A and B are shown apart, each in its own frame.
Chain A
Amino acid sequence: MAMTEQPKGPGLGDWLYDKLFHNYIWSSVFRSGYPSTPRNQMLAIATNVFLHLHPTRIHKTHVKITHTYCLGGLSFFMFLGLTVTGVMLMFYYVPDVNRAFTDVQSLETNVRFGMLIRNLHRWMAHAMVLTVLLHMMRVFYTGAYKPPREFNWVVGVILLVLTLLLSFTGYLLPWDQLALWAITVGTNIAGAAPILGGQSRFVLIGGFDVGPNALLRFYTLHVIALPLLAAIFMSVHFWRIRRDGGLARPL
């Protein structure tokens, strides 16, 4: 019998792959397989609700790390991480002056991975302020605010302010000495406005001193109002990048 090379029959791996990814349920979630052709790869971006804020194709200089250092993306990554850890923290935290501090203490000691979640939230919050500032510097020094991207720079400045406010409102929530006095100092700065300073400080902290009202206001702003605003401005920010043809390039 002549020995000719025969293609190997399907092995166990192929069988497993076929069962896992070619079944009815999987294909009801992911309508096509792994996108291996350029056309399918573009469709994968354009038809996916999470990915379609990307353009389908991008200039090759923009994939270089040193062009952006991923700073905008990192800021968004921090925002997502803060949302996830923040939701977890909300399970254990009540914004009441009698409970807030004890809640944070018991979160650290009685909750499994509670300390880790709180640490993650804290360091990511600091990191987000830093990455947003660095992102602004990157955009400035690469001249990426120039036409037609003027308004997106303005949206970016608004997002910087929202980031600072998000971090600032979160600073009060542990209700420890650090929180109370940092917010007292911070809101005194707002109270120094020439004409309506006292009024705006009163509205901000719901009284003359940082107390129960301030804690509730800062909590509400921190967990719903400011993140919602930030999400809206972020959507506009990302969408306009895509509409303006991706990142700026030399003419």
Chain B
Amino acid sequence: MAVAAPAARARETVRQKRERDQELLVWPDLVFVEFICAVLFTITFVVLATFFDAPLLNKANPNVTPNPSKAPWYFMNLQELLLHMDKGLAGVIVPTILLIGLMAIPYVDRDNEGQGSWFGTINSVRITVFSFFWSSIWISWLILWDNGSHVLVYQHLPQLWGSNTRLQWLGDKNPFAGWPVEGALKPIWDFIFLRNRLAIRDTWSWSLPVPFQPGSGPHDGRLDWPQDFTRIPLPLNGTWLWHWAQPGWMPGWMLHVYWYKSTFSLPAITAEWAVPILAMLGLPALMIIILRKIGWAHTMRDAIIALFTGFIVVYFALTIVGAAFRGKGQQLVPPYRVPNLNDDPAIQRQVPLSPSQFVVVDARTPGSGIYG
């Protein structure tokens, strides 16, 4: 006898009513559409495959690295992301969170409204359009900013009006010279003109007089960025729980997990983690807030449409930038300056083999061919 499972928490699932008078028979109305679709696409792909050959470069050679080396196109977005934040964050943490987030969509947005038709809720189209522009503008700006392109723009501004000078002094000049709190205002001014994200770690510097020494550097009466912030010990360092030295008894693989020498570099964490995370969380959050303020987004579905659209835009934008705008050494270049690997003599197939040049691979004659 079947025993009814206890309903732990009844899911309130509203099923659609069947409209039998509106229904068609699957045979022939659907099966034939599927069949025609399959035939059409078979023909399309046979034609495509006749005229466009799959690429085959030289045989794999670990000693010759193509420049640039690129991942398959659907992972070029991850490769692009790696250029803008810590490798672990870009390569693993962000994709994992995104996949979990994708799977969570139906559990967060449980409302049945807007089901089963394109852009079924009242504001969904304008939210999608807003998110499309918001995301594409911000992702382009972030990529350009991390490339230092804005520095080039403002340095070349006078040349627009015919002058041959460049405003190289703009970032160096201190408009607050002689002000009472000059030492505090100068870092802010410098921060505005930082070249990119990594410049927070590498070129931004300031020095404040302090009576004590909170950082890790020698006590010279001043607190200096970045050198006083590069080796900040974690709170538990030196206790039995958290050693300074390598615990000798610990097997090697465990040391990956147990950070025995735990100091962290605030400049590096700011540039590699804090700024990217701030951008990735802050900009979508700001978008939702704006959409709510202007009265377009009311429900969870509205927010999810905005976020999902942003995800799709960023996914394809990063793919396009990674594929078409990254040249040698992953430099940001216009598409016509992205090197074609087929032009590289070390990588391309140099001499197309004609059939007669082939060695017949025959396992029965081990002295011949590639086994020889």
| Cα A126 to Cα B54 with chains together (Å) | 11
CB neighbors of B among A107-137 (8 A) = 108-110, 115-116, 118-124, 126-127, 129, 137
A193 contacts the other chain (CB 8 A): yes
Q: Which residues of A contact B61 (CB under 8 A)?
A: 177, 180
Q: Which residues of B contact A197 (CB under 8 A)?
A: 88, 92
A56 contacts the other chain (CB 8 A): yes
Shortest Cβ distance from residue B228 to the other chain A in the assembled complex, whole angstroms: 26
Q: Which residues of A contact B343 (CB under 8 A)?
A: none
Which of B108-116, B160-168, B236-244 has 4 or more CB atoms under 8 Å from chain A?
A: B108-116
B237-272 to A contact mask, C-beta < 8 Å, 1/0: 000000000000000010011000000000000000
| Cα A3 to Cα B116 with chains together (Å) | 62
Shortest Cβ distance from residue B365 to the other chain A in the assembled complex, whole angstroms: 15
Given contacts A145-B106, A176-B58, contact A185 B79 (CB under 8 A): yes
Q: Which residues of B contact A211 (CB under 8 A)?
A: 62
Shortest Cβ distance from residue B83 to the other chain A in the assembled complex, whole angstroms: 12
Given contacts A102-B370, A180-B62, contact A186 B72 (CB under 8 A): yes
In the complex, how many residues of chain A place their beta carbon closer than 8 angstroms to a beta carbon of chain B?
A: 102
Shortest Cβ distance from residue A11 to the other chain B in the assembled complex, whole angstroms: 27
Are A143 and B115 in contact (CB-based, < 8 A)? yes
A218 contacts the other chain (CB 8 A): no
Candidate in B30, B121, B253, B308 with the most chain A CB atoms within 10 angstroms: B30
B22-43 to A contact mask, C-beta < 8 Å, 1/0: 1111111111011001100110
Interface size class of B (residues with CB under 8 A): 35 or more
A58 contacts the other chain (CB 8 A): yes
Q: Which residues of A contact B45 (CB under 8 A)?
A: 81, 120, 123-124, 127
Residue on A with the closest CB to B348?
A: A177
Q: Which residues of A contact B90 (CB under 8 A)?
A: 189, 192
Shortest Cβ distance from residue A128 to the other chain B in the assembled complex, whole angstroms: 11
A245 contacts the other chain (CB 8 A): yes
Q: Which residues of B contact A74 (CB under 8 A)?
A: 37, 41
| Cα A55 to Cα B20 with chains together (Å) | 13
A216-251 to B contact mask, C-beta < 8 Å, 1/0: 000000000000000000000000000001011111
Shortest Cβ distance from residue B155 to the other chain A in the assembled complex, whole angstroms: 33
Q: Which residues of B contact A67 (CB under 8 A)?
A: 118
Given contacts A110-B355, A146-B111, contact A63 B72 (CB under 8 A): no
Are A177 and B64 in contact (CB-based, < 8 A)? yes
The dominant DSSP class at the A interface is helix
Given contacts A70-B37, A120-B46, A190-B91, contact A249 B16 (CB under 8 A): yes
| Cα A57 to Cα B23 with chains together (Å) | 6
- Once A and B bind, how many residue pairs between them come within 8 Å at the CB atom? 272
Residue from A98, A151, A164, A188 within 8 A of B370 (CB atoms): A98
Residue on B with the closest CB to A140?
A: B308
Candidate in B38, B64, B115, B347 with the most chain A CB atoms within 10 angstroms: B115
B339 contacts the other chain (CB 8 A): no
Q: Which residues of A contact B354 (CB under 8 A)?
A: 109
B364 contacts the other chain (CB 8 A): no
Given contacts A63-B29, A146-B110, A181-B65, contact A99 B60 (CB under 8 A): no
Are A245 and B34 in contact (CB-based, < 8 A)? no
Residue on B with the closest CB to A106?
A: B358
Residue on A with the closest CB to B96?
A: A193
| Cα A140 to Cα B19 with chains together (Å) | 24
Given contacts A45-B31, A54-B26, contact A123 B115 (CB under 8 A): no
6 nearest interchain CB pairs? A119-B49, A192-B87, A150-B106, A122-B54, A180-B60, A248-B116
The residues of A with any CB-CB pair to B shorter than 8 Å are 35, 38, 41-42, 44-45, 51, 54-63, 65, 67, 70, 73-74, 77, 81, 97-99, 101-106, 108-110, 115-116, 118-124, 126-127, 129, 137, 140-151, 153-154, 157, 161, 164, 167-168, 171, 174-182, 184-186, 188-199, 209-211, 245, 247-251
The residues of B with any CB-CB pair to A shorter than 8 Å are 11-16, 18-20, 22-31, 33-34, 37-38, 41-42, 45-46, 48-50, 52-62, 64-66, 69-75, 78-79, 82, 87-88, 90-93, 99, 102-103, 105-107, 109-121, 124, 128, 253, 256-257, 301, 305, 308, 312, 341, 347, 353-355, 358-359, 361, 370
